[in-house]
Amino acid sequence: MGAASGWVRDMWDERVDGLPRIPVGDWIDNAFDWVKDNLDAFFDEVADLLRDAVTGIADLLNSPAPLVLAFVFALLALAVRDWKVAAGTLVGMALIISMDQWENAMDTLALIVVATFVALVIAIPLGILAARSDRFSRVIRPIMDLMQTMPAFVWLVPVVTLFSIGVPAGLVATIIFALPPGVRLTELGIRQVDAEVVEAGHAFGATPRQILREVQLPLALPTVMAGVNQVIMLALSMAVIAGLVGGGGLGSEVTSSISRLDIGLGFEAGISVVILAIFLDRVTASAGQRGPRRGLLRGLRARVSRPARPKSAGRADTTAAATEQQNVPAGTG
């Protein structure tokens, strides 16, 4: 009680334009000091886990020859989209190789893969809970607003305090910045499912879990995939900013170009980021599309799922047509 009265007295004594000064910054500093003092070992373990995950994926991406992996990316674009995106992917990846930015690009891609995976593992369940509970949605909405509207550079300060300079700090900042669209669009997609369809599922005796898995999520998939696309794009933008805290990859190249005023290096790293962004955007955007079947995988899936027409049915149709033609009176038609 005495401490609280002391805080109130200090706030009243340090007035700003007639209003008591609220030391929000001091409270946040004290909270982070307590977390650092009591949970330092936990954050060290998390940092090691995240560093190992990013390093492992980066080593995997850098192990084959760059041109081989560029062809693999082009084939992936061809499988999910079309030959135009595949050709653009191949040309873009070849340009990254020619600018000697391939290893940095793969390091950035590894960070994006881990950040997107962690963000989606957190975001999609939160979005499902928000769609099923209005109370939870009201609670989580201002948190998502804070995470999404806070300037990106601000998130670098607390993560460096907890994880120090390096890849884990950049990865955690990327996850925080990229997570909100996954929550919002998952909730939006499920809420937009027609209520009559859900009621029909209940009428057939489906459990809430079955309705979610077999009705709501499939119908909400395009909106959920739009959220995945936005998570990836925000992760890529934040991964570049994370170079300021040792995030590595293309972000470090951009940071080096700023510190040395190296315009050429900055444009090379920036063009590489643009190529990665276009490739990831086109591939992920086509994954949740409805409408015309595009890409080799979709064409094969449509051909396999199309029911085969029995040969006997074809012969029966031909016989029926011939019989009908014979029964037409002469001089008609």
Contact 102, 96 (CB under 8 A): yes
- Give the H or E element holding residue 64: none
Q: What value does the mean pLDDT take over residues 138-165?
A: 85
Q: How far apart are CA 235 and CA 59, in angstroms?
A: 20
Q: Rounded to an integer, what distance in angstroms lies between the CA atom of residue 269 and that of residue 157?
A: 24
What confidence tens digit (pLDDT) does each residue in 57-81 have? 999 998 989 899 999 999 988 888 7
pTM of the full structure:
0.78
pLDDT-derived band at 121 (thresholds 50, 70, 90) equals: very high
Long-range contacts of 288-295 (CB under 8 A, 24+ apart): 288/221, 288/222, 288/223, 288/224, 288/225, 288/226, 288/228, 289/222, 290/222, 294/80, 294/81, 294/82, 295/78, 295/79, 295/80, 295/81, 295/82
Distance from C-alpha of 244 to C-alpha of 173, rounded to nearest angstrom:
11
Helix (H, G, I), strand (E, B) or coil at 122: helix
Residue type, 179: L
CA 236/CA 116 separation, integer angstroms: 9
Per-residue pLDDT at 333 exceeds 50? no
Mean pLDDT of the chain: 80
* Superfamily for domain range 35-64+99-290: MetI-like (1.10.3720.10)
pLDDT at residue 122 tops 90: yes
193 contacts: CB under 8 Å, gap ≥ 6: 215, 216, 219, 220
Residue 308 — φ and ψ, nearest 5°?
-75, 140
Nearest to 237 by CA among 145, 148, 126: 148
In angstroms, the CA 142 to CA 64 distance is 45
Q: Please give the helix or strand (H or E) that residue 62 lies within, else none.
A: helix 40-62
Q: Which two tokens stand for residue 113?
A: 């893969």
Percent of the chain with pLDDT over 70: 80
Question: pLDDT for 11-58, tens place per residue?
Answer: 555 666 667 777 777 888 888 888 888 888 888 888 889 889 999 999
Among 32-46, 225-239, 290-304, the minimum mean pLDDT is found in 290-304
Q: Residue 307 — very low, low, confident or very high, per pLDDT cuts 50/70/90? A: low
Q: What is the maximum alpha-carbon separation in the chain?
A: 111
Q: Where are the domains of the chain?
A: 35-64+99-290
Grade residue 293 by pLDDT with cuts at 50, 70 and 90.
very low
Mean pLDDT in residue range 122-140: 91
Contact of 272 with 96, CB cutoff 8 Å: yes
**Helix H or strand E encompassing 99:** none
Number of CB atoms found within 10 A of residue 213's CB: 12
Model confidence at 332, pLDDT cuts 50, 70, 90, reads very low
Q: Which of 49-58, 180-189, 207-216 has the lowest mean pLDDT?
A: 207-216
Angstrom distance (rounded) from CA 104 to CA 245 = 16
Give residue 315's pLDDT: 53
Asked whether the predicted pLDDT for residue 83 surpasses 60, the reply is: yes
